[in-house]
Structure 1
Amino acid sequence: MVGFLRFRNILVMGLVLLLAGLWMPMAVALTPIDISDLSYEDCPPSLADGAVVSGSMQSARCFIVTGKAENKSGKMVVNADIFGRIYDANNSNVMPNRTRLGAIEEVPPGVSEFELQIMVPANQPLPLHLKQFKASGFTGRVRR
C-alpha cells in the first residue's frame, strides 16, 4: 500500500509539473534583424517644411532612409529598434549622441523593405554615409 501511495504521489506531481509547463507563457527573446541595401533620399516637402534638429532650433534637412530587413527567425518580429551611425561628407558623425535611429513596427520572416525618417542639421555636408546598421526586436508582444 505504501508503494502504491508513493507511486500515486509521484504521478500526481509529474502531472502538475507537466500542466504547469503547458500553461507557462512563452519566453520573449530579443531577435536580431540584418539590415542591408541602405540608401536615402530627401523627404517630400510635406514632411520637410519647418524641420529643426531635435532639442534645438537649428534648421535641419529631412531624409528618408530605406533598406531591407532580413528576419531569419521564422517568426514575426515586432517593435524592432534600428541602430546605426550616420556620417557626413567630412566623416563627422551627424548624430553623435544617438545610435538608436527609429523602429520597424513589424518584420515578417524573410526579407522585407523598411523606411525611416531622420533629421540632419542643415549645415552637414552631403553625401551621407550610413554605417553599422542593425536592428533587433521581439517575437512576441512585450506588453499585454
Structure 2
Amino acid sequence: MRSRIFPALLASVVIGFLGWLWAPPAWAMIQVELFDLGYKDCPAELSEGMVSSGSIQDANCFIVTGKAKNTSGKTVVDADIFGRIYDANDNRVMQNRTRLGSIDVVPPGVSDFELRISVPAALKTPLKLEQFKASGFTGRIGR
C-alpha cells in the first residue's frame, strides 16, 4: 500500500513545483480613463450606407472623440468603451446598452480616440456624453 502512495505523492509535488516555476501570464483587466469628450458629424464617406434615408429607422451618424489615459505602463488592446449618451431631452440614445464600442490599441500615457455611433434621427441634439470609461487587457483574449 505504501509503495503506491509514495510515487503518487512525489508526482503531485513535482507537478505542483513545475506549475509554480512556469505559470501562464495573468491577464488582469486594466482601466483606462476617458476624458475631454465631444462629438462631431460623421464625414460623408463614413455615414454612407450606414444611415438610412426616408424610412422609420432614419439615423444620424456621429463620431465621439476624446482622450484615453492609460496609466498602467503597458499597451492595452481591445479596450471596451462604456458610457451613457443622452439627447437634449435627457432620453437615452442607446437603450439598455452601455457598451458602445472599443479602442483597438491604447498605448501608455494619453492618446486620442474616436468612436462612430448612430443615433435615431428623431432624437434632439446636443448629445450629452456621461460616465465614459474603458477597460481592456495587455494581450488579445480568445483569438
Same fold (TM over 0.5): yes
- Partner residue in 1 for 2:110: 111
* 1: CA distance, partners of 2:21 / 2:77: 24
Amino acid at match of 2:133: K
* 1: CA distance, partners of 2:48 / 2:15: 62
Amino acid at match of 1:138: F
Alignment of 1:1-12 (within 5 A): none
How many residues are aligned here? 130
**Structure 1 residues 61 and 136: alpha-carbon distance in aligned structure 2, compared to 1, 3 A threshold:** same
Q: Could you tell me how far 1:60 is from its partner in structure 2?
A: 0.4
Alignment of 1:35-114 (within 5 A): 35-50=34-49, 51-52=51-52, 58-114=57-113
Amino acid at match of 1:20: G
Q: Deviations over 1:20-41 (max 9, x none)?
A: 3332111101111100000100
Greater displacement, 106-115 / 15-24: 15-24
Task: Please state whether the residue corresponding to 1:91 is helix, strand or coil.
Answer: coil
Amino acid at match of 1:91: D
* 2: CA distance, partners of 1:97 / 1:17: 46
* 2: CA distance, partners of 1:80 / 1:27: 17
- The normalised TM-score by structure 2 is 0.82
Amino acid at match of 1:32: Q
Task: Please state whether the residue corresponding to 2:45 is helix, strand or coil.
Answer: helix
C-alpha RMSD of the superposition: 2.1
* 1: CA distance, partners of 2:105 / 2:15: 37
- The normalised TM-score by structure 1 is 0.81
Residue 140 of structure 1 pairs with residue 139 of structure 2: yes
Q: Could you tell me how far 1:16 is from its partner in structure 2?
A: 6.8
* 2: CA distance, partners of 1:16 / 1:121: 58
The percent of aligned pairs where both chains have the same amino acid is: 60
